[in-house]
Structure 1
Amino acid sequence: MSRHTYDYGLIGNCSYQAHIHKNTNIEWMCWPRFDSSFIFGAMLDDELGGEFSIKPTEADWSTEQFYIENTNILCTDVSSAGGRYRITDFAPRFHNYERYYKPLMLIRKIEPLEGEPTVIVNCKPVGNYGKLNPEQYEASNHIEYLGLEKELRLTTNFSISYIVEKRSIVLNEPKYLVLTYGAPLEAPLQSTCEAFLDRTKLYWQGWVKNMSVSNFHQEAINRSALVLKIHQYEDTGAIIAAGSTSLPEAPGSGRNWDYRYCWMRDTYYTLTAFNNIGHFEELENYFNYIVNISVKTEDRFQPLYGITGKEHLVEEILPLKGYKGNTPVRVGNQAYTHIQNDVYGQILLTLLPLFIDSRFINRERSESLKMIRQILERIESLMEEPDAGLWEFRTLSQFHCYTYLFHWAGSQAAIKIGKAFSDQKIVEQATRLAKRASEKIEECYDPERKVYTQAIGSPNLDASNLQLILMNYLEPGSAMAADHLKAMEHELKSKEGLFYRYLHKDDFGAPETTFLICAFWHVEALTSVGRIDEAIEAFENLLKYSNHLGLLSEDVEAKTGSMWGNFPQAYSHVGLVNAAYRISRKLDRPNFI
């Protein structure tokens, strides 16, 4: 059985993302926001999803994709009998007028490299998830597509008639295609595109240059960091789990989810990764997002929200073919209704640096202590409540070890915040809650197997409990940590070095694929307990599960190494960054845990 890979590159500018297939087609792009309908969606339906491609006229051709080094600018080199040409795709992003310029603008530069290649440009956008085909209107130097909420315009120096008629065009000089939503490009085409390309390149390379990373697999870290950056919707500060929806966790599994929303849990791990590489702007943006949610939250936090803080993310099934025929295609996510109580501790841990890191002027945060107190009150009120857990079981409610771990860890963070602001009430309450959470965690311990199980009274093991070591609940150098890790490896680690979340049946049966971030948690755990050589070997093994551009999926089928789940998955790239960080710190400082 051959290995399935996602043959896409990703571009974005913190306003939108686009998935570009090696065949030159934009196969997934949602406008005006991450969670909007697709403009191009062939990834999920090759008939209703529209198209935006620049293909050779010959039937036999090949491509090679690569990023301009340390940027989110993607190049696709196309070779055919008639010659070679390069497509450079990017979403403009750079500093302008003391702000970031990040328009709803896709720029495609097409330049000949060898011979006289001939191409056919096909631009067919759609709306309302393929239900709407905009009316096409030709002007002197652009095509307007009418019928969407705002004007969609393609500005180009290609022949408009040739594009409309889908006729072949000889490529004998650089050409440009600029697709805009709302405000069109009203400036010189070539010079503007070249200027935007140069400034976008300088922005991304400067952003990478300001990262603080070691030499340990720096290239992989850089690519992961660049991917994570464009998962933040900068207008509000929300960070999405992935820019795609309904890519199946395994073929025919029905585990097809919409991840274009902001999970409290995922955001904690993502912002930890940014902190580890020395970038803090993302955390400050997220602080504004979470404060706005907190103000309108009277009862409890949801596990996830829309990127503008929307609460009701009603799950719907669309009449689309699905990725490689895998249905259902879902938009929205029922998990917003779930009880997932680990989110409170994760919010406290996420915001901790803003309160105690001297690089932030923490007195600006003193007014936010009220939110800290409210979260502690919620943890206290929910200590005896079962929940759906981090894997979002739809029909199973348990007293999850992982949830209590984050009650404990969040309380530890609140103790530090309380001490930093001399708030003894916070310190006392958080200390009391940490003790209660610890008692609950110990109820999950199986003394015969020397391992912590998924939940109180459950015999099942869960990879999330690797976090007991990573969060220093278990002393990394202790025999308990070593025994716990060995028991987890024995049951959940595949012979290929991958890790299952769990192996018991859930709402959809037994899991068929491994979850990539769990394998990176395993790498971190190996590092923490001092098995550093094994950690490095395991980390390097995981790198081979990326696609041709170093991008990672959510899930991996162990036997074939096939990529499944949404793509690229922020969780997986977070796992890579955090695992590399822990290894590099251990190499630099052997006593680091």
Structure 2
Amino acid sequence: MIPMPAPSLELGLIGNAATAALLNALGDVTWMCLPRFDGDPVFCRLLEPQSGPDSGLWSIRCDELARTRQSYRGHTAILETIQEDDQGNRLKITDFLPRFPDRGRMFRGRTLVRIVEPLAGTPRITVRLCPRHGYGAHAARVMRGSNHLRYDLDQQALRLTTSAPVEFVLNETPFLLDRPHAFLLGPDEPLSDGPHVIAAAFLERTEAYWLDWVRALSIPPDYQEVVIRAAITLKLCEYEETGAIVAALTTSIPEYADTQRNWDYRFCWLRDSFFTVKALNSLGVTKTMEDYLAYVLNLATGTPDGYMQPLFGLGHERVLDEETCPALLGYDGHGPVRRGNAAYTQVQNDGYGSVILAVSQCFFDQRLPRLGGIELFERLEVLGRQAVARWNTPDAGLWEFRTRESVHTHSVLMCWGACDRLARIAAHLGLPQRAAAWGAHADAMRQAIETQGWNDTVGAYVSAFGGADLDASLLLMPEVGYCTGENPRYQATVAACEAQLRQGHHLFRYRAPDDFGTPETAFTACTFWLIDALVRLGRHDEAREIFAAVLEQRTALGLLSEDVHVASRTLWGNFPQTYSMVGLINAAIKLSRKWEDVV
């Protein structure tokens, strides 16, 4: 019989842009937060509750399980797990969260649907459903109804409605799977029809939705499956109700063992969202940009002077106090587990450029139902004025150093990007005086980057004005339009980054010790930035070789976390990481052939 698997990021993701769940290779639900991505994890086995290995999960397990295999149902967010015992009895578990258009709106119910059906022989199964609350501290109180189970949690209650015998689920009694059974776990509300009828209808309509969504993607001819899975994953990281985009769906999966680099990523970082919106725009998914525009405009309206903290809650929350959760031991025992993120108190001056660059397409893309006009431009100008006021002042930077500040070159670059785009937008709107004013600010920032962000001794741009260290964000200069790959200074910076930061096919974000010591894992997004740089320098074969190596690092289901330990080839960091999935899309587009070269 297969034992409980060791901690691993071989996880499957299901979701519907309202909530999401992660399942391990056996088909156990090991992570799910309610009512939002940043809510209390009712399934928290991924972070090892102190209450034991059988708590904080939902397993549907074939007795004497011998082997499993797992895949998505085509190009959808529907996950299928095949289980087989040592006698050849087989079953299939189909897991998803419903998402489909209904009555003029998008239905995205917070109901986890599981359908289990026999495929061969007479499998026997045991259902173990053990939600917790208080970040793993408390078990749910279970109450039995006539055809359902109610799980009382702190400030919410869940109802399991099933066609399987409720008695067997309540007491974890093994039973013969002689026909399909449906399980629906969601709000404490009665269903309008039998669970098998509702589940089948939800499945059919959810599958149809995802197939239609994928059909509309503008994908390259090569690496199609890579791009499609990455695009679906990014969509699942959008909290569609408000337009926020989370950096990842988990908290406290460490960057490496025993490093204390355990952070809560279930919030909306302005810079991460910029990259996500840009990647989805390149595939023709402009609706996410429209949703995100509404999100950031709401935030900007709440700060009359235009000051923007680096991250916000999914419902525009500005206070995200950081605290530890002692009832959870941590991923593979590597605590602490944190909720909240103190980085919200930091000054990070790159955010103004991130917002303006993310939404600037709204002024130029004729596909959009409402193009940006004077009113939107004037709102963005408020953010631009903050960029002008702050660009040459110290901040925590892209990497969120907690104990020191500098004038970071990347932050100045993004402030330059804010002013540069405002100048372009003003010219597009027929406002020459404003265009000239914003252009002058951009020119001043460029001059500073060229004089203070360049180090003659190092022979490269450097991380901070007047410094000598390098970091991978310097490779992003062409990405934001600052220069091209033909720029000699940029080429020299790429060479310097390779010399100092590259290890095999991976790139570290920096090598200098930080608040927690010397980094031990490569930041996967930085490796994608290296691929982009190599393509810009015409080194396509090298870029493809690195891309192939990164593809091998993905999980069996095509997902990536934040970091990789180069020597052991193991994934670390929060999961799935939007930065990394964005990199898959960008690299695939740059390295693929054109359609006219294929057909």
TM-score if structure 2 supplies the norm length?
Answer: 0.95
Structure 2 counterpart of 1:458, which letter? G
**Residue 561 of structure 1 is aligned with which of 569, 581, 588?**
569
User: What is aligned with 1:94?
Assistant: 100
Deviation at 1:134, TM superposition (A): 2.4
1:376·1:429 contact (CA, 8 Å) conserved in 2? no
User: What is aligned with 2:321?
Assistant: 314
| Aligned partner of residue 61 in structure 1, secondary structure | strand
What is the number of equivalent residue pairs in this alignment? 585
Counterparts of 2:563 and 2:408 in 1: how far apart (Å)?
A: 23
With over 3 angstroms needed to count, the CA separation of the structure-2 counterparts of 1:363 and 1:244, relative to structure 1, is closer
Worse overlay, 578-587 or 474-483: 578-587
1:4·1:562 contact (CA, 8 Å) conserved in 2? no
Counterparts of 1:414 and 1:243 in 2: how far apart (Å)?
A: 33
**Residue 507 of structure 1 is aligned with which of 507, 510, 515?**
515
Are 1:334 and 2:342 counterparts?
yes
With over 3 angstroms needed to count, the CA separation of the structure-2 counterparts of 1:50 and 1:362, relative to structure 1, is closer
Deviation at 1:168, TM superposition (A): 0.6
Structure 2 counterpart of 1:555, which letter? D
**Residue 429 of structure 1 is aligned with which of 416, 426, 437?**
437
**Residue 388 of structure 2 is aligned with which of 366, 380, 385?**
380
Counterparts of 1:313 and 1:585 in 2: how far apart (Å)?
A: 44
**Residue 213 of structure 2 is aligned with which of 207, 212, 216?**
207
With over 3 angstroms needed to count, the CA separation of the structure-2 counterparts of 1:47 and 1:160, relative to structure 1, is farther
**Residue 71 of structure 2 is aligned with which of 50, 66, 71?**
66
Unaligned runs of 5+ in 1: none
Deviation at 1:470, TM superposition (A): 2.8
Deviations along 1:121-175, whole A, 9 cap, x unmatched?
0111112212232221112211111244233100011111111111111011111
Are 1:33 and 2:36 counterparts?
yes
Q: How does 1:266-305 map to 2 (within 5 A)?
A: 266-299=272-305, 300-305=307-312
With over 3 angstroms needed to count, the CA separation of the structure-2 counterparts of 1:361 and 1:115, relative to structure 1, is closer
With over 3 angstroms needed to count, the CA separation of the structure-2 counterparts of 1:363 and 1:211, relative to structure 1, is closer
**Residue 576 of structure 1 is aligned with which of 561, 576, 584?**
584
User: What is aligned with 2:374?
Assistant: 366
User: What is aligned with 1:486?
Assistant: 495
| Aligned partner of residue 202 in structure 1, secondary structure | helix
User: What is aligned with 1:125?
Assistant: 131
With over 3 angstroms needed to count, the CA separation of the structure-2 counterparts of 1:217 and 1:63, relative to structure 1, is same
With over 3 angstroms needed to count, the CA separation of the structure-2 counterparts of 1:343 and 1:184, relative to structure 1, is farther
Worse overlay, 469-478 or 565-574: 469-478
Deviation at 1:567, TM superposition (A): 0.7
1:156·1:178 contact (CA, 8 Å) conserved in 2? yes
2:255·2:572 contact (CA, 8 Å) conserved in 1? yes
1:470·1:528 contact (CA, 8 Å) conserved in 2? no
| Aligned partner of residue 23 in structure 2, secondary structure | strand
Counterparts of 2:433 and 2:318 in 1: how far apart (Å)?
A: 31
Deviation at 1:346, TM superposition (A): 1.1
The percent identity for this pair of structures is 37
Worse overlay, 73-82 or 229-238: 73-82
Deviation at 1:370, TM superposition (A): 2.0
1:557·1:563 contact (CA, 8 Å) conserved in 2? yes
Structure 1 counterpart of 2:81, which letter? T
Counterparts of 1:419 and 1:584 in 2: how far apart (Å)?
A: 34
Are 1:23 and 2:26 counterparts?
yes
**Residue 449 of structure 2 is aligned with which of 438, 441, 445?**
441
Deviation at 1:409, TM superposition (A): 1.6
Counterparts of 1:362 and 1:162 in 2: how far apart (Å)?
A: 54
| Aligned partner of residue 164 in structure 1, secondary structure | helix
Worse overlay, 84-93 or 528-537: 528-537
**Residue 461 of structure 1 is aligned with which of 446, 456, 470?**
470
Deviation at 1:186, TM superposition (A): 2.8
Counterparts of 1:144 and 1:486 in 2: how far apart (Å)?
A: 60
Deviation at 1:447, TM superposition (A): 2.4
Counterparts of 2:488 and 2:140 in 1: how far apart (Å)?
A: 65
Counterparts of 1:447 and 1:378 in 2: how far apart (Å)?
A: 30
1:136·1:146 contact (CA, 8 Å) conserved in 2? yes
2:362·2:372 contact (CA, 8 Å) conserved in 1? no
TM-score if structure 1 supplies the norm length?
Answer: 0.96
Worse overlay, 315-324 or 42-51: 42-51
Deviation at 1:516, TM superposition (A): 0.2
1:32·1:181 contact (CA, 8 Å) conserved in 2? no
Counterparts of 1:397 and 1:118 in 2: how far apart (Å)?
A: 60
User: What is aligned with 1:529?
Assistant: 537
1:557·1:564 contact (CA, 8 Å) conserved in 2? yes
Structure 2 counterpart of 1:401, which letter? T
| Aligned partner of residue 88 in structure 1, secondary structure | strand
With over 3 angstroms needed to count, the CA separation of the structure-2 counterparts of 1:278 and 1:221, relative to structure 1, is same
Deviations along 1:51-78, whole A, 9 cap, x unmatched?
21011222x5221111011100001111
With over 3 angstroms needed to count, the CA separation of the structure-2 counterparts of 1:463 and 1:147, relative to structure 1, is closer
Deviation at 1:483, TM superposition (A): 2.1
Unaligned runs of 5+ in 2: 1-5
Q: How does 1:370-409 map to 2 (within 5 A)?
A: 370-409=378-417
Structure 1 counterpart of 2:591, which letter? I
CA RMSD in angstroms comes to 1.7
Deviation at 1:476, TM superposition (A): 1.3
Counterparts of 1:468 and 1:287 in 2: how far apart (Å)?
A: 24
Counterparts of 1:458 and 1:194 in 2: how far apart (Å)?
A: 61
User: What is aligned with 1:79?
Assistant: 84
With over 3 angstroms needed to count, the CA separation of the structure-2 counterparts of 1:188 and 1:125, relative to structure 1, is same
1:527·1:586 contact (CA, 8 Å) conserved in 2? no
